[in-house]
């Protein structure tokens, strides 16, 4: 990890999108079977850089993070093809949707969303951390905006495009999302 990347994940406004999130994602990747060494390397890079830029007041975090990855990976000697693939993967984390057959995209998106399927107390801590990251948003606007995000997730056919992670997280994630949505609306 570059010093710039370490500093980015230590920014004072971050509560959830920290180095702990990256380490959790890397640990989940390490437990997955069936990936080639090259695929695993690309996914590791995408995980490291996917939240490198995280400013809740901006709408281009993923795009800027992808460009940062391209620049840094170029300095590390990564091929143009690998840099393009890492950037593509990072951009998928904006909407968390992937095309059918996109194995690497399915893995990255599923890992990034795995917190939604955590134990209720872990999920609640995550939700509180996200609220802290958006502390500048007035409560009524927060409830409406966060509620819309949660509803969009609940309306999705599946949250986890990777079958292995879907089996682990889909049911508890839907329970957590519904519980948080009810609390926001209550």
C-alpha to C-alpha distance for 137 and 48, rounded to whole angstroms? 28
pLDDT at 3: 87
CB distance 5 to 72 below 8 Å: yes
C-alpha to C-alpha distance for 12 and 129, rounded to whole angstroms? 12
C-alpha to C-alpha distances, 150 to 61, 99, 182, 184, nearest whole angstrom: 20, 21, 10, 10
Q: Domain segments of the chain: what residues?
A: 1-99, 113-186
CA triple 52-53-57, angle to 5 deg: 150
At a CB cut-off of 8 Å and minimum separation 6, what does 134 contact? 56, 142, 146
One pLDDT digit (tens) per residue for the chain, 186 residues: 788 898 999 999 999 999 999 999 999 999 999 999 999 999 999 999 999 999 999 999 999 999 999 999 999 999 999 999 999 999 999 999 999 999 999 999 999 999 999 999 999 999 999 999 999 999 999 999 999 999 999 999 999 999 999 999 999 999 999 999 999 998
pLDDT at 2: 82
pLDDT at 186: 87
pLDDT at 139: 97
pLDDT at 50: 97
Angle between helices 163-185 and 120-133 (to 10 degrees): 60
């Amino acid at each position: 990890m570059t010093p710039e990347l370490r500093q980015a994940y230590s920014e004072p406004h971050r509560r959830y999108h920290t180095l702990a999130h990256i380490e959790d994602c890397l640990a989940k990747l390490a437990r997955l079977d069936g990936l080639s060494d090259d695929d695993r390397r690309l996914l590791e890079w995408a995980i490291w850089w996917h939240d490198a830029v995280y400013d809740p007041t901006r709408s281009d975090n993923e795009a800027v993070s992808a460009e940062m990855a391209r620049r840094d990976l170029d300095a590390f000697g990564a091929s143009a093809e690998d840099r393009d693939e890492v950037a593509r993967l990072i951009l998928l984390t904006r909407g968390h949707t992937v095309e059918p057959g996109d194995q690497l995209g399915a893995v990255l998106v599923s890992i990034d969303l795995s917190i939604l399927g955590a134990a209720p107390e872990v999920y609640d801590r995550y939700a509180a951390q996200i609220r802290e990251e958006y502390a500048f948003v007035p409560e009524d606007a927060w409830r409406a905006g966060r509620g819309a995000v949660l509803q969009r997730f609940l309306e999705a056919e599946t949250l986890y495009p990777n079958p292995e992670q879907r089996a682990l997280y889909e049911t508890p994630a839907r329970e957590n999302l519904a519980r948080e949505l009810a609390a926001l609306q209550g």
